[in-house]
Amino acid sequence: MYQDIILDHYRKPHNRAGELEGEDAHVHHSNPLCGDEMDLRIRVDGDRLDAVVFDGDGCSISQASASAMTQAVGGRDLDDVLDLSEQFRLMMHGEEPPRIDELEDGIAFQGVAKFPVRVKCALLGWMAVKDAIETYRSGDAAHAVTHE
């Protein structure tokens, strides 16, 4: 069943776009181990994540996880998004974080924690949205980060 959720997000990604009207921050993340590339853009309204879109190339796990992430975090307060990103990271390290249910379809990637080589793929979108919020708060219009 979880496999179906992942495939569904891969085949019909949500919030996949190469541009975002009124974007407040744009980050580029890559995962050289697998060859995943991702551009992620956010628009902020007050303290709320008004919109988040991603665009990229890479394995099914990285792209599907980013799609699920955008659905889980869109419209939430920025601090809440950062906390959920941390919950997802803990889940990818084999833990059962308290807000795991709020990861929505992100929970489908729990099994990926058993495959260390794929963990960075699943984390890519979640780390990108965290970085985008920190970039927004730091006042940088755009910057690039490579996760190794």
Where do contacts with Zn ion occur on this chain (CB under 5 A)? 34, 36, 58-59, 62, 121
Complex with Zn ion: residue 61 or 73, whichever CB lies closer = 61
CB of 140 to Zn ion, least distance (A): 26
Complex with Zn ion: residue 78 or 127, whichever CB lies closer = 127
Q: Indicate the residue type of 97.
A: P
Please check whether residue 37 is in contact with residue 144, taking contact to mean a CB–CB distance below 8 angstroms: no
C-alpha dihedral, 45 to 135 to 29 to 72, nearest 10°: -30
CB of 15 to Zn ion, least distance (A): 19
Euclidean distance between CA atoms 65 and 115, whole angstroms: 15
Complex with Zn ion: residue 1 or 117, whichever CB lies closer = 117
Euclidean distance between CA atoms 121 and 34, whole angstroms: 7
H-type alpha helices, 1-148: 2-11, 60-73, 78-92, 116-138
CB of 141 to Zn ion, least distance (A): 28
CB of 28 to Zn ion, least distance (A): 15
Complex with Zn ion: residue 15 or 65, whichever CB lies closer = 65
